[in-house]
Structure 1
């Protein structure tokens, strides 16, 4: 909210300078006011740029946190799926499946040898 207050103050200053420029008749005063208004515009531009950068960083941090959380959840799910014996149980299961498929698909004349 601090950003918004600073931005609103700068915007009010810009509007006040614009009104003052409209009411000023001498060229010298107008030039000075226009220069001041230009500085205020630079300040506003910098504020907007910094705010956009902060928003971008916050978004990136949120994305990283979500990715980390998702990877932790995936790891937990994999560990739970593996069971208490871990990967060895999965490897044993995979070998059993491969052997079953081999026995089923293996040609009959090669089985006898």
Structure 2
């Protein structure tokens, strides 16, 4: 078994308690163990689950400066599909336009900063 991953920032209680997919937040799909995470300042290992939407190795946070897609494992998300309230402000949920379209999700805005984009996983 791999070592737990340290996860900083906001994490929903449903994901932390294994009631929702760690990656996409799904609660109606079949959920299977995906590994363990640690929170800063705590030694407790939280056992998290996944619906299979991403590989088990993707528990690690994305590299700094990348925009991670909520629907696939590729960096380079180019649009925002949802904004969630957060104690520190709003959280913008990002995706590739292609990944969102495949799932019938409309986007709120797209990035126009010319950041390199990668081909989204299907």
TM range (shorter): under 0.3
Q: TM-score, normalised by structure 2?
A: 0.16
Kindly indicate which of the two structures has a greater share of residues assigned to helix.
1
Kindly indicate which of the two structures has a greater share of residues assigned to strand.
2
Larger radius of gyration: 1
